[in-house]
Amino acid sequence: MSEQQAHLRVNNEEIALTVKKPTLGKDVVEVSPLVKHNLFTYDPGFVSTAACESKITFINGEKGELLHYGYPIEQLAEHSNYMSVCYLLLNGELPTSEQLKKFETQIQAHQELPEPVLETLQGFAPAAHPMAKLLALTSSLSGFYQGQGNMSTHEDQLKVAYHLIAKMPTMAAACYRHSLGKTAIAPNAELDYASNFFKMMFDKMPSATIQRALDRIFILHADHEQNASTSTVRLIGSTGAGPFESICGGIAALWGPAHGGANEATLKMLKQIGDIADIEKYIEKAKDKNDPFRLMGFGHRVYKNYDPRAAVMRQSCHEVLQESNSQDNPLFKIALKLEAIALQDDYFIQRKLFPNVDFYSGITLSAMDIPTEMFTVMFALGRTVGWIAHWIEMQNSSEKRIGRPRQLYTGPTRRNLV
């Protein structure tokens, strides 16, 4: 990276700051030297702050571009599978056929859960949210695998990655089965990743269409740069916390409706609309600034163009709806009508409020009979590899230091009791 300088003048003092040029994206002004001048920056929501250097994922929101180590997400979704993308995120290169086979074998070898981990579910009521259960199961894994090896070596870091990637579907399916009062189904090492998960969920094999759609959902959610949950994983990991507790932080952050819960919120919105005849009424409510109603699953904080993941998910969504004959389902009729309006209405087009990946993934998962409360769990399942890839990258960074954001204090000045 070549470097230039920016100059900031404060109280007649000129401060020179380094401008770092990335391989892709906007230039970054390094503001860390400001502390020497008794200055901080103020950036609510970190919308203009780069807190780390990363090689894993790049997003160009203006162009609607998402790259993993340079590979466009739509090409990965079309020509690769989730295991290949996992290998890419962990190693920086797509695998050869031999490397992929070895990687899949390693994942399959770590799918089983220790019995005490599964017993953790007995502390929950069946109706408890599956994300709460997933958090507990993930945390309990640290008691079995945290002390294995030296986490400062890349080999041992990858071993932990294999455990997390392999066990997440087993835990997710067990959470669902527990909600039904049913026992967990053991993983089958002979099945591919998506089929194995579906089999553990429903005790039946998915169709080829559903298998491919599931695999694409996992690919599209594998990583998304420095989002809230990934940043949380990095912040926790910066303290020296291990991978399991760091990933627990990611799961907790993902649970929020503004992040991983967006696809769940989309289905709730469709149910709120209720009838295809009422769509126009809700469209007008969404356009009214004084109305609290919001259309969920449209637009994106990062993308100011069409979400590239949505274009891929849209295809799988329509394939699953067609196979399951769900087009006649009132909920999906509402969704398809909303989609058509958003792609043609000037209000949406001018504001770039296109259907996003959450809109299509929620509809697709629902058409697979996966319950709404499991949607965020599905997101966590796919995102696990991204979280652990970022945790590993941070551990091996020469610039690693504990995260410690500053604040703009606006409370009372000093007040003495006497």
Active-site residues, by number, are 300, 358
* Strand intervals (E) in 21-157: 28-29, 57-60, 65-68, 71-72
What's the residue count for the chain?
A: 418
* Tokens describing residue 160: 């932990």
How far, in Å, CA of 251 to CA of 234, rounded? 13
Residue 23: count of CB within 10 angstroms of its CB: 8
To the nearest 10 degrees (0 to 180), the angle between helices 97-108 and 154-179 is: 60
Please write down the long-range contacts of 7-15, taking CB distance under 8 Å and 24 or more positions apart.
8/34, 10/37, 10/39, 13/37, 15/39
How far, in Å, CA of 382 to CA of 64, rounded? 21
Residue in this structure with the two tokens 């703009």, named with its chain if needed: 408
Contacting residues for 289 by C-beta, under 8 A, at least 6 apart: none
Q: Do 17 and 5 touch, CB atoms closer than 8 A?
A: yes
Q: Do 212 and 132 touch, CB atoms closer than 8 A?
A: no
How far, in Å, CA of 21 to CA of 32, rounded? 16
Residue 392: count of CB within 10 angstroms of its CB: 21
Residue in this structure with the two tokens 């509402």, named with its chain if needed: 334
Which residues, listed in sequence order, are joined to residue 173 by a DSSP beta bridge? Answer: none
How far, in Å, CA of 325 to CA of 392, rounded? 43
Q: Do 395 and 349 touch, CB atoms closer than 8 A?
A: no
CA dihedral over 121, 123, 127, 133, signed as positive or negative: negative
Contacting residues for 314 by C-beta, under 8 A, at least 6 apart: 355, 360
Q: Do 32 and 3 touch, CB atoms closer than 8 A?
A: no
Angle at the Cα of 252 from the Cα atoms of 136 and 332, rounded to 5 degrees: 105
Torsion angles phi and psi, residue 362, rounded to 5: -60, -45
What Rg do the C-alpha atoms of the chain give, in angstroms? Answer: 23
